[in-house]
Structure 1
């Protein structure tokens, strides 16, 4: 089974919401909240929609996909929902 990684998430963040030049998305961001990284709920909706489209899954609107979630939580949720065939 393939997995969704933090690197995959970072790519989606860059594509859907952009990157603040003051933040190193390639650094240790796993436990930072998206809000602390400068991403609001609108940005997270864009990221979530991109991930859903690319992977063919539906992510719930909950604490793991919002601005107060962390990349680690987001990645764990996506991996829970990935079908074994991907």
Structure 2
């Protein structure tokens, strides 16, 4: 069964498990509007993150998702938009 809401906490978990930030990065602070690059995440690490989100949430995301939405707020909104589209009427 797929999940129907993607949250900041879910993103933090995926980032920590899949992409492992620089030890100096504090993901527990307010990161919603901080760019992924500033958080220490390379494009290749974010590609892994997007792939995991697709698998766990049952959505197909644009390959340019992280460049189009370079902050957690943008990524979360884009994932939730896709989740809304995938819910049966």
Deviations 1:33-52 (Å, cap 9, x if unpaired)? 10011101100001001100
Task: Choose 1 or 2 for highest CA Rg.
Answer: 2
Match 2:16 to one of 14, 17, 41 = 14
Unaligned runs of 5+ in 2: none
CA RMSD of aligned residues (A): 2.0
Tell me if structure 2 keeps the 8 A contact 1:23–1:37.
yes
- Length-normalised TM-score, structure 1: 0.87
Alignment of 1:21-32 (within 5 A): 21-32=23-34
Deviations along 1:18-66, one digit per CA (max 9) or x if unpaired, are: 132211111111101100111011000010011001011111022x423
The Cα of 1:67 is off from its aligned counterpart by 8.9
Select the structure that is richer in helix. 2
Aligned pair count? 84
TM normalised by structure 2 equals 0.84
Structure 1 stretches of 4+ with a deviation exceeding 4 A read none
Query: Does the Cα contact within 8 Å between 1:35 and 1:67 map onto a contact in 2?
Result: no
Name structure 1 gaps, 5 residues minimum. Answer: none
